Amino acid sequence: MAPGGRPAAIVGRLARWDVPFGADMSDAIVDALLERPEIAAIRADRFPAGVPLRGILRNDARIVTLSPGEIAVREGDYGNSAFLILDGDLRVVLPPGLPRETLGRQTPRNAGWLATLARALRPSPKFPETRDVGAAAGAAATAADRDPRALTFLQDIPAILDRHRSVRLGAGEIFGEIAALGRVPRSATVFAETPSRLLEIRWQGLRELRRHDPGWRRMIDERYRRNALLNHLQAHAFFASLDDATLASVAAAVRFRTYGDADWHLQHRRGRDAPPAGADHAADPIDDEAVIAGEGGPADSVYLIRSGFARVSCIVGGGRRTVTYLGVGAQFGLAEAHTAWRAGGEVRLSQTLSAIGQVDVLRVPFRVLAEHVFPGLREVPPPYATQRRYEDDAFVDWLIDERWINGTQTMLIDLDRCVRCDDCVTACAATHDGNPRFVRHGPVSDHWMVANACMHCQDPVCMIGCPTGAIHRHELGGVVVINDDTCIGCGTCAASCPYDNIRMVEIADRSGTPVVDEAGKAVRKATKCDLCVGQPGGPACVRACPQDALRRTGGQALLLHGVEGVRR
Amino acid sequence: MWGVAAGAVGALALWRLHALGSGRNPDVVTGGWLLLSVLALALYGARRRLRVLPLGPASAWLALHVIGGVACVGLYLVHAGLAWPSGAADQALAALFLVVFVSGTVGHLLQALLPIRLTRAGDEIIYERIPAEIARLRAQAESTIVEAASACGHDTLGTYYAQSLAWYFDRPRFTLQHVLGTAAAQAWEARKLAAVERLLDPRERASLAGLAHLCRAKRAVDVQYALQTLLRRWTYLHAPAAAAFLVMAAWHSMAAFVYSR
Amino acid sequence: MDDPRITSRSDRSPYERPNLGWRCGRAARWDRPCAAGPGPDGSCPHRDGPCRPRRAHRRRLGLLSLGVALWTLAMVVFLMTDLADRAGLPSSLDAGPLSPAHAIATADLGCAACHQADGAGLSGWVSVAM
């Protein structure tokens, strides 16, 4: 019986490794892997009983074979796994990378019109949150099985090697860990030069290896810093003209630092859930932010944001005013450092750069800039400034303090236009088998509401800790989605989301009978907005609003709502 | 789009004049165009049901619905003129057309004005959650009374609550006044809370301050209820009247076409 | 006391389902709705409760519109019958009074004097229309 004495449909509860990453990983294969030097060096006794090394290899890894020319990973794709080369040679294509058409870049595969029409005419299930229970336990593909790289070969390898710079990778080397652990797109294309065998490790397994083995942790962290650093430097226009040797010397001088708190999302939730303190309310959040470079300090470096967000602020009167925020790829201090170089003397910073949450920063020293960058720099971006009125600061500060800036598809509702008709919610439900995936409420500033809908964050912290990889980045566009079939209902993602945008629901079968496990406990699934990925027309909520009150937005565009924005 | 609509109506009016001048009966044609336009307006209702299909933004459909609705008034005048019809069926048709147009216009105005009032009122709440919120405030008020009674040993506040304030927390109140934007609810609260103050000892007065806080919260809910109800209820006139109008229009078109032969 | 004002906030409350046809009857009595709402057919899991599920706004509006449309159609049909005629009710085909000259000219045959379709029945209407 289900809770409440109702009859129930009983199913086996999904566990973490019920759906292994690779169906063909046998004991013999695992035994052979354990003999390899990279894995033999791992001390299995450091792994907990519940997550043994053997189990990780058996369930969180799989063997991938590649023919010459076959692409292992493509630049720009979102990936959830890293690769250890077992045999063969692969090539990493250096910037500027291969042309899009060479990569066989997929165009987004939305459902066709006929399928959508059939779906529109099909009546929604009568009961909420129903599932086809028979198919639920362990069937269907994970995102990893829908392999976007599998179907593209590079035709003329010698010509490609001739025209594009590349680096060879051989047996024992690892690649792809940055994208897997950092939840960011692949930074380069890697293809097989010779017949190759790879061990593909999904990021959950990589996380465990890094967590429990010091050798792998050191290796991953060093590679992370080294390769990410080079890639990141090259992404900036003022380094683009440097040759490899110069860039390497610049990289050697760069300091990599992390500011702020890795558990910012947990702190943010705790702070939000605490009752308001009244007259002695907590200090302005800006005062608690770790300072990266302070106003009045020497303009002796350029700071590059590697990941996360940072706030640019300046003293105004008796307080500190937010000028703007910076995200991945932004720089701070270039204008002032250049001024100092031209003037031949010391210049003071006119603004403060501080960490919002946790931010990784690359610090490029003045001497490197003076030697390699400034002499050839044609165009210097001006310092950050704003033309906002003071009264508009509240909105910008609210966006930053509440961390809405993390979202790339934040649901913003203009309450001065919204007639509260719930057409958006009804449309969302119609697109998801009768189940809405957001709640039309949320914090309000002036006439803007940020609704309780997944924002598809730049850094989706909800993915941290998912034991099965059910929550992952869709290969089309990087939208964060949940594979309902492999979700085991642990609730980790829901607990991690700083914005409460993931909801756990108790499921039923098509007749409305609650589904329980053998112990009689209700089976739950994590659910959230999936941006209607794969549906033609984009998010149904936006299309359905008759007043144009609802929009999905992110980045600097978020700041522009209701304010003049920031002059760069 | 307004220009296009005006141009179309004007063109039809000119054609009608020309047709009359050459001795033809233009009413079947003008009536046909009016019927087509009305059916096009009804498509907006159909589009709202087909939410899954990518049929373009609903805001564009609504804009066309509004422009088309106004254009239909022009088409009606071209077709039937200004005089009120004399036959019962035509009178019913004209009356329904008027009800649909007026209710639609009122609804359009409400949709333009009320959201701003709702935003300014603050304390946004989903309409379906209002009953639970009222229940929560009611429970908080009752627990305040109980705490006050057990703290000071008097039941003055509790008695007064049962006599005079419980009514307020029972359900949404002052709905019409909130729709009209008056301060009647605020004045009522002030009066009721001031009336009992001299009978209370200091501890009870602290509880009374808490009740005042709850009354303000209740008032915010009532404003949300009043305005959101109005935003929903106007459709209870517009949609059924439009449905009846479509039936009558179809009947009128059929009968007029057949009887014109 | 905690701030009792509603604060528009992100929280872990369940989804609202305006697409469902029925709502808990307790909400109609301005009380907290039950956790398990009514079924799709309006049945309530609490058989002995003092309240009954209510139709949701969209369902009510749809049914009202449909009902009014059907009633209108029924009236149109009814007002063409002899029963309505004997009761002195206006006909669905009543186009209003004729001018005096036309009234005199058509006194014998009535509407059929000028309109083939008058009194011709459904098949007559179809043949006239074609």
Rounded average pLDDT over A419-424: 96
In one letter, which amino acid is B102?
Answer: V
The per-residue pLDDT for B233 is 94
Among B52, B115, B232, select the one facing A431 at the smallest CB separation.
Answer: B52
Peptide bond into A96 cis (omega under 30): yes
Please state, in angstroms and rounded to a whole number, the distance separating the CA atoms of residues A232 and A85. Answer: 24
**pLDDT tops 80 at residue A512:** yes
| Nearest in space to A567 (alpha carbons), one of A372, A335, A373 | A335
Same domain, A411 and A537: yes
Cβ–Cβ below 8 Å for A420 and B50: no
Q: What is the predicted pLDDT for the residue at A279?
A: 44
Q: Is the pLDDT of residue B237 over 80?
A: yes
Amino acid A412 reads: L
If asked whether residues A258 and A380 sit together in one domain, one would say yes
* DSSP H or E segment with residue B105: helix B88-121
What counts of helices (H) and strands (E) characterise chain C?
5, 2
A317 assigned to some structural domain:
yes
Question: Both A264 and A358 in a single domain?
Answer: yes
Section A393-399 average pLDDT: 88
DSSP string over A411-454: EEEETTT-----HHHHHHHHHTTT----BS---EETTEEE-BS-
Q: How far does C80 lie from chain B, in Å, by closest CA?
A: 11
User: Does the pLDDT of residue C62 top 60, yes or no?
Assistant: yes
Residue A543 domain flag: yes
Which chain A residue's Cα is nearest to C39? A127
Distances in whole angstroms, Cα of residue A467 to Cα of each of A486, A500, A517, B17, B160: 10, 19, 19, 77, 58
Cα distance from B112 to chain A (closest Cα, Å)? 7
Please give the helix or strand (H or E) that residue A543 lies within, else none.
helix A540-544
Answer yes or no: do A441 and C8 touch at CB < 8 A. yes
| Structural domain includes residue A452 | yes
Do A430 and A506 have their domain in common?
yes
pLDDT confidence of residue B52: 81
Q: pLDDT tens across A451-471, in order?
A: 999 999 988 888 877 777 788
Place of tokens 């699934």: A525
Distance CA A442, CA A499 (A): 9
Q: Say which residue, A527 or A470, is predicted with more confidence.
A: A527
- What is d(CA A505, CA C13) in angstroms, rounded to the nearest whole number? 11
Question: Nearest residue of C to residue A273 by CA position?
Answer: C11
Across chain A, what does the average pLDDT equal? Answer: 83
Provide the residue range defining the domain that includes A366.
Answer: 244-274+285-386
pLDDT band at B57 (very low <50, low <70, confident <90, very high): very high
Domain count, chain A: 2
Looking at the structure, tell me whether residues A445 and A342 fall in a common domain: no
Q: Which residues of A touch B221 (CB under 8 A)?
A: none
Residue A442 confidence (pLDDT) above 90: yes
More confident residue, A243 or B38: B38
Contact at CB, C3 and A437, closer than 8 angstroms: no
Is some CB atom of chain A closer than 8 A to the CB atom of B58? yes
**What region does B23 belong to: left with phi over 0, alpha with psi -120 to 50, or beta?**
left
Q: What is the ipTM of this complex?
A: 0.92
A377: left (phi over 0), alpha (psi -120 to 50) or beta: beta
Residue type, A11: V
| A418 and A473 assigned to the same domain | yes
C-alpha distance from residue A397 to each of A208, A386, A404 (Å):
38, 13, 10
pLDDT value of position A141:
37
**Domain annotation covers residue A223:** no
Closest listed residue to residue A354, CA positions, set A260, A458, A471, A221: A260
CATH number of A554's domain: 3.30.70.20
Q: Given a cut of 60, is residue B91 above it in pLDDT? A: yes
Average pLDDT of C15-28? 90
Q: List C-alpha distances in Å: A115 to A131, A444, A534, B101.
A: 20, 38, 11, 38
- pLDDT of A142 > 60? The answer is no
Which of A386, A414, A448 is at the close of a domain?
A386
Same domain, A377 and A423: no
Chains in contact with C, counting 3 or more C-beta pairs less than 8 Å apart as contact? A, B
For residue A143, what pLDDT is reported? 34
Q: Does A251 share its domain with A361?
A: yes
pLDDT digits (tens, 9 = 90+) for A156-214: 778 778 788 888 999 999 999 888 877 677 888 899 999 999 999 988 888 888 888 99
Q: Which of residues 116-175 of B touch C (CB under 8 A)?
A: 123-126, 128-129, 131-137, 140, 144, 170-172
Phi-psi region of A278 (alpha: psi -120 to 50; beta: other; left: phi over 0): left
Q: Is the pLDDT of residue B106 over 80?
A: yes
| pLDDT(A329) > 90 | no
CA pseudo-torsion sign B183, B186, B188, B191: negative
Look at A43-52, C45-54, C120-129 and tell me which has the smallest mean pLDDT: C120-129
- How far is it, in rounded angstroms, from Cα C29 to Cα B212? 24
pLDDT tens string B1-19: 888 888 888 888 888 888 7
Residue type for A73, please? V
**Chain C interface includes B32 (CB < 8 A):** no
Distance between CA A148 and CA C69 in Å, rounded? 53
Q: Is A414 within a domain?
A: yes
Alpha helices (H) along A192-279 = 203-212, 214-234, 244-253, 264-273
pLDDT in tens, A297-308: 999 899 999 888
Residue A343: CATH number of its domain: 2.60.120.10
Same domain, A260 and A335: yes
> What letter does residue A372 receive in the DSSP assignment?
I
Cβ–Cβ of A127/C2 closer than 8 Å? no
Query: Which chains does B contact via 3+ CB–CB distances below 8 A?
Result: A, C
Check residue A201 and give its pLDDT: 93
Best mutation site among B52, B127, B128 for testing chain C: the one with the most C CBs within 10 Å?
B128
Specify the range with the lowest mean pLDDT, choosing from A234-243, A384-393, B122-131, C55-64: A234-243
Query: Phi, psi (5° rounding) for residue A169?
Result: -120, 140
| Pair (A435, A535) in one structural domain | yes
pTM: 0.83
Chain C CB contacts of A272 below 8 Å: 10
What's the pLDDT score for residue A150?
41
Q: Establish if C130 touches chain B: CB-CB under 8 angstroms.
A: no
Instruction: Judge: C95–B89 Cβ closer than 8 Å, yes or no.
Output: yes
- What 8-state DSSP symbol labels residue A481? E
- Model pLDDT, residue A566: 31
**Is A103 within the bounds of a domain?**
no
